[in-house]
Chain A
């Protein structure tokens, strides 16, 4: 559900509404950032930057342009990518696998109470290698279809349908 009333309230600089939006989306933002930055302390810095940007630029969001979640996703990805280009980011030697989120999820034992940890674990275990790469690029990194097709060397027309299949499984598992 799109929290329309909360969005309007925070756009009018209501701090209580903003806190609720933070509670709703901060874990998602943190996950997106961490998958790109791969450092907890730096990710926390970026997380703060992201929510201050959200607060300051609330009025630039319009429902007609897209989902509120999508708008936040874009801010999170861009801020995280900016961080990787900054001086404080010195992790170029790190193992930059294209499906880092999978590694994280495979290694993780404790999950936030809001998360269906069993479902997620089950999903990751069953996920095809190509799906892992497609989800990482399109969802976590914000690549376009064209960029994803070039990166993975697959036909442009298959990106959209392939991705649908990958996400469908997640939906099914979570909705059981």
Chain B
């Protein structure tokens, strides 16, 4: 290669200007590595251009401007570029994690609330069932009481108060006797709870001569809250008595344990 012709072509001036493409500059660089004469020429061109461009600058000293640049360099140096981006990335990561944790906590709270509400619902349903049961019982009681009331209002009913006897002076009872229907309603709310192994037995009595006929035993005394028992009574009763008898009842009344006694008014 003729290096003198190469230099004379003017390519090195353009190389120093920066007017060449990147590819052309790389080619020039390779030639410069081989030919010291070419480097020498580049340096001459560069020197001339430095003189020319510096001559164009206003006379103000650029020396005085440096401190402003220095300030910016120092501030940019303390906050080094790489740590800043790292901080940023760690900040976004932090925010990301914080958001995830917040979401998890939120979900957990919602889940808990849901569970509590479900539990509440079950409790409410149970309470409702219980209340419905209570209402049913109350309705049953009401209808029972109503039917009893109807019975008591019946004009054909014969009311027989049974008075206390020696055994228990506080005891009392009533018999409501529907003669036509041969039914007797025994109200024993005034009798004490029978001891274990004993039951009350209701007797229809003929007075002359004294002939007792069993009407039945009140073996469910404790289970019936109304304490009103319905027994059939086909007898021509003149009086009613209630005695305390051994479980299962007796053939004839034990008069020593006669609690109440009342005569039918004719």
Which A residues are within 8 Å of any B CB, using their own CB? 1-2, 13, 15, 18-19, 22-23, 25-32, 34-35, 40, 43-44, 47-48, 51-52, 55-56, 63-67, 69-71, 73-74, 101, 104-105, 108, 110-112, 114-117, 119-120, 135, 138-140, 142-145, 160-164, 167, 170-171, 174-175
Contacts and interface: CB of A to CB of B under 8 A. Distances in A.
A67 B45 CA distance: 11
A30 B51 contact: no
Contact of B55 (A43, A51, A120): A120
Given A138-B14, A171-B48, A31 B55 contact: yes
16 contacts: A26-B65, A28-B54, A31-B54, A32-B53, A47-B65, A52-B72, A66-B15, A66-B18, A101-B52, A108-B55, A108-B59, A114-B54, A120-B55, A160-B10, A163-B13, A164-B10
Nearest to A147: B19
A130 to B, nearest CB: 14
Contacts of A140: 53, 56
Given A66-B15, A101-B56, A19 B48 contact: no
Contacts of A110: 59
Contact of A174 (B48, B53, B60, B66): B48
A25 to B, nearest CB: 8
A161 B16 contact: no
Contact of B73 (A15, A73, A160, A163): A15
A110 to B, nearest CB: 5
B57 A120 contact: no
A70 B15 contact: yes
B29 A40 contact: no
Contacts of A71: 18
Max chain A C-beta neighbours (<10 A), residue from B25, B42, B54, B60 = B54
Contacts of A111: 55, 59
A73 B18 contact: yes
B72 A167 contact: no
B238 interface: no
B86 interface: no
Given A18-B73, A138-B19, 16 more contacts: A1-B43, A23-B63, A26-B65, A28-B57, A48-B65, A48-B72, A52-B72, A67-B16, A67-B46, A70-B18, A101-B52, A112-B57, A119-B51, A144-B19, A171-B45, A174-B48
Interface of B: 8-11, 13-19, 22, 25-26, 29, 42-60, 62-63, 65-66, 68-70, 72-74, 76-77
A117 to B, nearest CB: 7
Contacts of A139: 17, 49, 52-53
B69 A44 contact: no
Contacts of A51: 69
A142 B17 contact: yes
Contacts of A135: 52
A160 B58 contact: no
A167 B13 contact: yes
